[in-house]
Structure 1
């Protein structure tokens, strides 16, 4: 209903005289271009989005390598994270953005709709055709990685499992650590085996 009113207001905005514009702006606020699009993509226009994660993807323990790659893109300017996501889940992406020299903003706005949890955006239109990042476990399963190894992200794994993930997807290695001899001595074991 609100978006229909805004479309009607912005559509007839040009045809109004100055007094009507001031009155309409006072009652309804300044008309906004592509309001529906902006509330879906955490306040940004779709054409500025380079990559996007859902809230569930951001809450996973692993970091998506696609986000790391998009932050390396020259067009990337900042990362925006939904305020609905808890701090411990989003902190890894905040640190990654700072490490890559990008700004990071957390948006707390009840007007936002949808399941978007994180967007990497540029200052100008980038027109990336596919911005959605496929689910990590599904992508790894298609590459032949066992589910137990995909679930072990963020944990220590043995040399054999580390080699499997390196061969399947070298960029995914950022989510795994090798078990050392000292780790084994203290009773740690491979999280995937």
Structure 2
């Protein structure tokens, strides 16, 4: 452990004790990445795209907590709050005027769970790529049939 100097004491007095992974905490509304079950961006919260996924995760994790970004208008967070109330999940609005984040809502635990896919867009991108592959296979089948007519 290093010895503290006068500058360290002054910094701690003015800004408080430094937290580990402070940038990560600011990004995920005060929690760590390893604790996150589902993270929704502000756009996903405002368009209600993640409500269905949020509800299924709330059913699976009844002891979780919902953190909501205070910079998002109340009317956009109403359905998320209603879901949290429905499943008796505590919810908190986090307002940090000094730091902006694109995260609109986070379903989290107070301990590490290390879930790999926490973003909604990852799941939707996978579903879209699967449907595109199926469409390509259909198109290929039609082209092959037309070729067979002329050969």
| TM over 0.5, shorter chain | yes
- Find the residue that maps to 1:80 and give its secondary structure: strand
- Could you give the per-residue CA deviations for residues 11-32 of structure 1, whole angstroms, max 9, x where no partner exists? xxx3125877544421442111
Structure 1 equivalent of residue 149 of structure 2: none
Query: 1:165-180 to 2 correspondence within 5 Å?
Result: none
TM-score (norm 1): 0.58
Query: 1:42-121 to 2 correspondence within 5 Å?
Result: 42-61=29-48, 64-74=51-61, 76-121=63-108
> CA 1:61–1:72 in structure 2 vs 1: closer, same or farther (change >3 Å)?
closer
Decide whether the 8 Å contact of 2:51 with 2:80 is kept in 1: no
Structure 1 equivalent of residue 115 of structure 2: 128
Structure 2 equivalent of residue 149 of structure 1: none
TM-score (norm 2): 0.73
Decide whether the 8 Å contact of 2:69 with 2:94 is kept in 1: yes
C-alpha displacement of 1:60 = 1.1
> CA 1:99–1:107 in structure 2 vs 1: closer, same or farther (change >3 Å)?
same
- Find the residue that maps to 2:37 and give its secondary structure: strand
Decide whether the 8 Å contact of 1:63 with 1:93 is kept in 2: no
- Return the alpha-carbon distance in structure 2 between the equivalents of residues 78 and 50 of structure 1: 10
Question: Number of residue pairs matched?
Answer: 131
- Return the alpha-carbon distance in structure 1 between the equivalents of residues 11 and 127 of structure 2: 53
C-alpha displacement of 1:137 = 8.1
Structure 2 unaligned runs (5+)? 132-151
Structure 1 unaligned runs (5+)? 1-13, 145-193
- Compute the RMSD of aligned alpha carbons: 2.8
> In the alignment, which of 16, 20, 24 is matched to residue 29 of structure 1?
16
> CA 1:125–1:29 in structure 2 vs 1: closer, same or farther (change >3 Å)?
same
- Could you give the per-residue CA deviations for residues 70-121 of structure 1, whole angstroms, max 9, x where no partner exists? 1122375210111111111110000100111111111111233331001000
- Return the alpha-carbon distance in structure 1 between the equivalents of residues 77 and 96 of structure 2: 17
